[in-house]
Amino acid sequence: MRSLRLARIAAEAESVRLRYSARRAAVRAVLGLVALGFLFGALVFCQIAAWYWLRASWDRPAAALILAGGELVLAAILALLAARSSPGRVELEALAVRRRALEGATSGLAFSTLVTQLLRLAIDLLRRRRT
């Protein structure tokens, strides 16, 4: 009974850990997509700036370069946030609970298996002595 309860606790802990892990992955994906959007915008404005620099005065390209630089900085910040995301406290605790429950369940099963084997051995020994 105890082993089944520990296995159920392990399954619930794994469910919590996977839920929070999926949530973190979704946030990372969204931040990464937003960063890619800003990176694309920065590349477009860099091209516009180079074109203006070749064709016109220094005023227009400076504005485009400032805008492209701002978008690059924003894209870098979002990309760093997406890459830096690590498992939260709840995920780590759920993983620890799952590990402890599985260790308890397997040790309980190992003990019951050992007792069963010992009982079989004892019965075989008793049968051999009687015959």
Give the model confidence (pLDDT) of 81-124 as tens digits.
888 877 778 778 877 887 887 777 666 666 666 667 777 777 77
Going 51 to 57 to 63 to 65, the CA torsion angle's sign is positive
For the segment 53-79, the average pLDDT, to the nearest whole number, is 74
Decide if 19 contacts 115 (C-beta within 8 A).
no
Q: Torsions phi, psi of 56, nearest 5?
A: -130, -160
Q: Give the closest residue to 32 by CA, choosing from 80, 103, 69, 91.
A: 80
User: Both tokens of residue 42?
Assistant: 């920065």
pLDDT digits (tens, 9 = 90+) for 2-55: 667 777 787 788 788 888 888 888 999 999 999 999 989 988 888 777 666 656
Which residue carries 């084997």 as its tokens? 117
DSSP string, the chain: -HHHHHHHHHHHHHHHHHHHHHHHHHHHHHHHHHHHHHHHHHHHHHHHHHHHHHHS-SHHHHHHHHHHHHHHHHHHHHHHHHHH----HHHHHHHHHHHHHHHHHHHHHHHHHHHHHHHHHHHHHHHHHH-
Residue that wins the pLDDT comparison between 47 and 59: 47
Decide if 30 contacts 125 (C-beta within 8 A).
no
Predicted TM-score (pTM) of this structure: 0.42
Question: In total, how many domains does the chain have?
Answer: 1
Which structural domain range is residue 50 located in? 2-130
